[in-house]
Amino acid sequence: MWFIFALVSTFGWGLADLFYKKSAQDNDRYSHLKTAIWVGLVMGAVSICLLPFSESGFSLSALVINAVKYSPASLSYIISMVIGYAGLRYLELSIISPVQNASGALSTVAMIIYFTAAGRLGSISDEFSALDIIGTVIIVAGVIALAVVEKKLSSGDAPKDSKYKMGALALIFPLLYCVFDTVGTAADGIILDEETGLGLGEIDVLILYGLTFLLAGIAAWVFLFIKTKKAYNPFRKAEKNNFFASCCEEFGQIFYVYAMAKKPMLAAPMVASYCIVSVILSRIFLKEKLKASQYACVISVIAGIVILGISEGLAEA
C-alpha cells in the first residue's frame, strides 16, 4: 500500500502548492506568516482530534518525550515550509516547486548513508526489485533535471513583473527549503522506519507534527500582532486560499507518513515528485507557460512513477 499512499500524498501536496501560490500576495510582506498560521490551525485541529488514538499513551509526559524525539523532523519541516511560502512571492510556482523538491533525492542519499551505518543496507537492498531501482532513478533524475531547467529559465526568462524583481537571487528560497526539507525527510525516514526507528507510530507522528505546527502558527500570529499592532483574523473570506492549501497539506501529510513508515527510501523521491503536479496545475490554472524541456522532465517522472506502480503490482501478485 505504500505506493498508493505516496501517490495520494503526491497529488494532495501538488494541489496544496497551487493554493499556496494563489494565496501569496506580493504586496503583503507577511503573507507567508499568514499561510503558516492557517496550516498550524488545520494541523493542530487534526492533531487534537487524533490525541485519543495515540499509540504511546494519552499523557503529557509521553507527549513531551515524543515531541523531543520528533523535533529534528518537525522543526526542519516547519522552517522549510515557511521559507517556501515566502519564496512564492518572488518566483513562479513552476520554478520554485521543482527546485525545492530536489530534497527527495538528497534525503534518499542521506537515508542510504544512515542505514548503511546501522548495518541495514543488505536487508533493505533485498526488499527492492530492479524495477524499484530503475523507477526511483528515473524519478530522481527527472526532478533534478527539472530543477536545473527551471534555474536556467529563472535566470533568463523571468517575468518582468514587479513581484519577480529579485530575479535569480530569489532561488535562495527554494534552495534553503531544499536543505531543511532534506533534513526533515531523512529524519522522518529514520524515525518512522519499522525496524530501526524510534518507536513512534504513524498517528503519533501526525499528532506531534500538527501540535508543533500549531505552536509555530500561534507564534506567527503573536509576531504579526506585535509588528502590525492589530490582530490578524484568519477567518476572513479573503483567506479562503490559505484554508484550501492547509487542508490539502494535511491530507497529503497523512498519507505521506504512512508511505514513509513502509518504504522510506522509495517513498521520499516519489512524493517529492509532487512538483510535477504543481507544474501541470500551474500551467492549467495559473497560465504559467511550459517549454519542451519542462515537458520532457514531467514525462520522465511520470514514467518513473508508472514503473514503481508496476513493480508494486508485481510484488502484490
How open is the CA angle 124-136-113, to the nearest 5 degrees? 45
**Amino acid in the structure at residue 307:** I
Q: How far is CA 40 from CA 46, 194, 207, in A?
A: 10, 28, 12
Task: State residue 281 phi and psi, 5-degree precision.
Answer: -65, -35
**Amino acid in the structure at residue 103:** S
Q: What global pTM score does this model have? A: 0.81
Q: What pLDDT is recorded for position 214?
A: 96
Which residues are CB-neighbours of 19 under 8 A, at least 6 positions away?
241, 242, 244, 245, 248
Task: State residue 232 phi and psi, 5-degree precision.
Answer: -80, 125
| Per-residue confidence in pLDDT tens, the chain, 317 aa | 788 999 999 999 999 999 998 998 878 889 999 999 999 999 999 999 999 888 776 677 878 888 888 898 999 999 999 998 988 887 777 667 777 777 776 787 788 777 777 776 665 556 677 888 888 888 878 877 877 776 676 665 544 444 444 445 566 888 889 889 989 988 888 887 666 566 778 899 999 999 999 999 999 999 999 999 999 999 999 899 999 999 999 999 999 999 988 888 788 888 878 878 888 888 888 887 777 887 888 788 888 888 887 887 777 65
Which residues are CB-neighbours of 226 under 8 A, at least 6 positions away?
none
User: Cβ distance 23 to 241 under 8 Å?
Assistant: yes
User: Cβ distance 263 to 2 under 8 Å?
Assistant: yes
Q: Which of 204, 182, 18, 163 is nearest to 108 (CA)?
A: 182
Q: How far apart are CA 9 and CA 148, in angstroms?
A: 24
User: Which three cell numbers, joined as nine digits, stand for 142?
Assistant: 527527472
Q: What pLDDT is recorded for position 148?
A: 77
User: Cβ distance 123 to 74 under 8 Å?
Assistant: no
Q: How far apart are CA 263 and CA 253, in angstroms?
A: 15
Q: What pLDDT is recorded for position 221?
A: 97
Locus of grid cell 513508515: 261
Q: How far apart are CA 269 and CA 147, in angstroms?
A: 14
Q: What pLDDT is recorded for position 162?
A: 45
